[in-house]
């Protein structure tokens, strides 16, 4: 067995929850049968259980390539739909065009950026854990302005339209409110638990180790909720505009299929992210000892 | 430590994927530090790592009670909506009333029965594993006639209405088609892999152990897909009937909130089932040796 090979994913039998456990405080071995490695460079080389064959690499690459195509694809498809079938964007002078910012920015923030953030945290194995955490935070931080602007644009477009539309009436808006609340909560908890509390690494170990599986579970739930919210939004929009005579019926028919395709791509993203998270390995497994200090 | 206590859920650090591994063939220990128990009666008693405190029992009971309330509640709420706001059921003589069977039966089959089936498999710890498997299969088998009748009722109501409505046009129908296809595939694969192949337990061990995490992952994905399909169906129906003057505007307003509440309950079910599955323990963990033979 080549002990120097770096394996991307554990075998199906590998314990998933173990991967979600915050790393042990320096010098505290989590398993009795494995000595702590002398330095950080050996974190993956020493982990002989992670040796993977061609099939595992193929699965890893398939997940990476497919998820990249879908996460970028859903944003391109949304932009295509808005630019070619909904006349593009505007701010404040035209409520209908201002509304168009809402689906685009929400898909960019909640799906593309958040999806890459989750997958990068799970699949990135070539960096130190603290860098992976920072990248995970950076992607979520980039999602915040998208979500905030997307939220403002729909509020403005509702309030500026004649007559003004009621806010927080539809199921989409209720689900969206829960999704945004959970997103903010997850970001704040994640930022304080896994970055700020690192300052006192040893004393906050127990707190962080309790938080990790909760943050991971609710993070995935939040992502699924975001997908459900996007799909309800698309369906509501499509049904409301089904009898709209602004577009020719031929265009309207094509638009219907574009919106359906968007829904299917969103569901495919939900499937691939949940499968990838269940199958994949976090950068720092419970068996790996990292001596990061702030 | 009381070694005779039966603990419902493992601590957060316990390996989840381990729980999904098909049990070892008799006499093959999966961990080196644990001797095989002399008989089946000791399966949980010997598993000292599963000792849980009051908090864990509280969490277990909370999940069981909350999920029961939500899974039964969603069916009661659907029946209430159909009976009091959609004039109840009929078969073939009235397409509108025949349609009403569709949401009721689909919620009963895909959400209530499938949800109980998944949760029972995960949370039932007091029975032999083969009985848990049979109950899991029984609940899913009960879902089949519900789904089949629900599918037929919407087809009939589309074809019998004047003018006939197009089948498989909306996003809901596309998602529903994928959900039903995956459900049938999962049922057939599950039935053959985990019940029929048990006849040659030792020779089919490897095959079954590969199938378990795949069946578990895709089962959960299928359940989430069913929830997404139900929500899109509710939203489509609500939007299509928003301008319908059959009901008074007061009733229509209440109906809107009932449908929104149904959507929120469905999302809550999705959250509690995915959290329960991630946190809970299968009846037979990889560390437990069961000597079932058919």
**Residue B182's domain is classified under what CATH number?**
1.20.120.1770
Work out the minimum CA distance from B152 to partner chain A, whole angstroms: 23
Structure tokens at B247: 């009901």
Task: Give yes or no for B122 touching A (CB within 8 A).
Answer: no
Q: Are A276 and A67 in contact (CB under 8 A)?
A: yes
What is the pLDDT, as a whole number, of residue B31?
A: 41
Work out the average pLDDT over A17-21.
40
pLDDT tens digits for range B61-73: 899 999 999 999 9
CA distance B11 to A206: 13
What is the pLDDT, as a whole number, of residue B51?
A: 59
Domain range spanning residue B56? Answer: 16-279
Query: Is ipTM strictly over 0.85?
Result: no
CB < 8 Å to B275, chain A: 217, 221
CA distance B208 to B219: 15
* Cβ atoms within 10 Å of B265's Cβ, excluding its own: 21
Residue A273: pLDDT above 60? yes
Q: Are B183 and B223 in contact (CB under 8 A)?
A: no
Work out the average pLDDT over A150-174.
90
CA distance A37 to A287: 10
Work out the average pLDDT over B208-226.
89
- Cα-Cα-Cα-Cα dihedral sign, residues B277, B283, B284, B288: positive
Task: Give yes or no for B182 touching A (CB within 8 A).
Answer: no
What is the pLDDT, as a whole number, of residue B200?
A: 78
Task: Give yes or no for A159 touching B (CB within 8 A).
Answer: no
Task: Give yes or no for A279 touching B (CB within 8 A).
Answer: yes
What is the pLDDT, as a whole number, of residue A290?
A: 31
Cα separation values, A112 from A75, A78, A105, B25, Å: 7, 11, 10, 44
Task: Give yes or no for A182 touching B (CB within 8 A).
Answer: no
Work out the average pLDDT over B157-186.
91
Residue A89 is given by DSSP the state: -
Contact yes or no for B263 and A170 at CB 8 A = no
Q: Which of residues 204-233 of B touch A (CB under 8 A)?
A: 209-210, 213-214, 217, 220-221, 224-225, 227-228, 231-232
Task: Give yes or no for A15 touching B (CB within 8 A).
Answer: yes
Work out the average pLDDT over B204-224.
88
The residue that leads in pLDDT, B159 or A291, is B159
Task: Give yes or no for A290 touching B (CB within 8 A).
Answer: no
User: Nearest by CB to B171, which of A220, A259, A271?
Assistant: A259
Residue B89 burial by CB count (10 A; 0-12/13-18/19+): exposed, middle or buried? middle
Among A161-165, A249-253, B131-135, the minimum mean pLDDT is found in A249-253
* Cβ atoms within 10 Å of B252's Cβ, excluding its own: 17
CA distance B66 to B61: 8
Work out the minimum CA distance from A11 to partner chain B, whole angstroms: 10
Residue B48: pLDDT above 70? no
B279 Cβ partners below 8 Å, 6+ apart? A213, A217, B9, B12, B59, B63
Contact yes or no for A235 and B238 at CB 8 A = no
Q: Are B277 and B118 in contact (CB under 8 A)?
A: yes
CB < 8 Å to A269, chain B: none
Residue A269: pLDDT above 90? yes
B11 part of a folded domain: no
Work out the minimum CA distance from A272 to partner chain B, whole angstroms: 10
For residue A240, give the chain B residue with the closest CA.
B239
Work out the minimum CA distance from A159 to partner chain B, whole angstroms: 21
A42 part of a folded domain: yes
Work out the minimum CA distance from B256 to partner chain A, whole angstroms: 8
User: Nearest by CB to B236, which of A178, A235, A264?
Assistant: A235
For the CA atoms of B128, B134, B137, B141, the dihedral, rounded to the nearest 10 degrees, stands at -150
Sorting pLDDT into bands at 50, 70 and 90, what band is A249? low
Among A267, A264, A179, CA closest to A226? A179
Task: Give yes or no for B13 touching A (CB within 8 A).
Answer: yes
Sorting pLDDT into bands at 50, 70 and 90, what band is A22? very low
Among A198-212, B145-159, B170-184, the minimum mean pLDDT is found in A198-212
Sorting pLDDT into bands at 50, 70 and 90, what band is B277? confident
Residue B225: pLDDT above 60? yes
User: Nearest by CB to A224, which of B217, B259, B270?
Assistant: B270
Among B108, B272, B214, B233, CA closest to A263? B233
What is the pLDDT, as a whole number, of residue B175?
A: 94
Residue A232: pLDDT above 80? yes
B286 part of a folded domain: no
Cα separation values, A149 from A94, A108, A146, A156, A235, Å: 16, 11, 5, 10, 22
What element of type H or E holds A69? helix A54-85
The residue that leads in pLDDT, B102 or A205, is B102
pLDDT tens digits for range A39-90: 444 444 444 445 567 877 888 889 999 999 999 999 999 999 999 988 889 8
Query: Would you tell me the crossing angle of helices B129-160 and B171-191 to the nearest 10 degrees?
Result: 150
CB < 8 Å to A275, chain B: 217, 221
Longest distance between any two alpha carbons in chain B, whole Å: 71
Q: Is the peptide bond before A80 cis (omega within 30 degrees of 0)?
A: no
Among A192-206, B220-234, B249-263, the minimum mean pLDDT is found in A192-206
The residue that leads in pLDDT, B78 or B86, is B78
In three-state secondary structure terms, B246 is coil
CA distance B40 to B27: 13
pLDDT tens digits for range A128-159: 888 999 999 999 999 999 999 999 999 989 98
Work out the average pLDDT over B105-127.
92
Phi, psi of B101, rounded to the nearest 5 degrees: -65, -30
A48 part of a folded domain: yes
User: Nearest by CB to B210, which of A12, A231, A267?
Assistant: A12
Contact yes or no for B224 and A16 at CB 8 A = no
CB < 8 Å to B10, chain A: 17
What is the pLDDT, as a whole number, of residue B5?
A: 41
How many folded domains does chain A comprise?
1
Residue B20: pLDDT above 90? no
A148 Cβ partners below 8 Å, 6+ apart? none
Structure tokens at A154: 């729909």
Q: Where are the alpha helices (DSSP H) in chain B?
A: 16-19, 54-85, 95-99, 101-106, 114-123, 129-160, 171-191, 205-240, 249-279
Task: Give yes or no for A271 touching B (CB within 8 A).
Answer: yes
Contact yes or no for B240 and A238 at CB 8 A = no
A33 part of a folded domain: yes
B268 part of a folded domain: yes
CA distance A46 to A150: 46
* Cβ atoms within 10 Å of A27's Cβ, excluding its own: 9
A213 part of a folded domain: yes
A275 part of a folded domain: yes
For the CA atoms of B86, B87, B90, B94, the dihedral, rounded to the nearest 10 degrees, stands at -80
């Amino acid at each position: 067995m080549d002990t120097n090979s770096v394996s991307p994913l554990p075998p199906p039998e590998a314990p998933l929850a173990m991967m979600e456990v915050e790393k042990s405080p320096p010098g505290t071995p989590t398993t009795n049968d494995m000595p702590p490695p002398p330095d950080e460079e050996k974190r993956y080389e020493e982990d002989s259980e992670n040796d993977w064959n061609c099939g595992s690499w193929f699965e890893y690459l398939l997940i990476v390539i497919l998820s990249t195509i879908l996460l970028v694809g859903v944003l391109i498809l949304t932009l295509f739909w808005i630019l070619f079938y909904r006349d593009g964007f505007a701010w404040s002078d035209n409520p209908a065009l201002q509304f168009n910012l809402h689906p685009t920015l929400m898909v960019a923030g909640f799906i593309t950026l958040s999806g890459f953030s989750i997958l990068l945290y799970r699949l990135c194995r070539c960096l130190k854990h603290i860098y992976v955490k920072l990248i995970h935070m950076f992607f979520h931080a980039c999602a915040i302005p998208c979500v905030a602007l997307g939220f403002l644009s729909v509020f403005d477009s509702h309030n500026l339209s004649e007559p003004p539309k009621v806010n927080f009436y539809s199921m989409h808006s209720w689900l969206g409110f829960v999704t945004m609340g959970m997103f903010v909560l997850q970001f704040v908890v994640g930022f304080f638990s896994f970055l700020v509390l690192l300052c006192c690494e040893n004393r906050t170990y127990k707190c962080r180790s309790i938080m990790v599986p909760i943050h991971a579970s609710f993070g995935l739930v939040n992502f699924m909720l975001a997908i459900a919210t996007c799909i309800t939004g698309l369906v509501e929009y499509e049904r409301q505009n089904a009898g709209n005579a602004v577009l020719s019926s031929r265009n309207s028919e094509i638009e219907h299929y574009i919106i359906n395709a968007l829904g299917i791509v969103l569901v495919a993203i939900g499937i691939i992210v949940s499968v990838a998270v269940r199958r994949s390995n976090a950068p720092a497994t419970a068996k790996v000892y990292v001596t990061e200090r702030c």
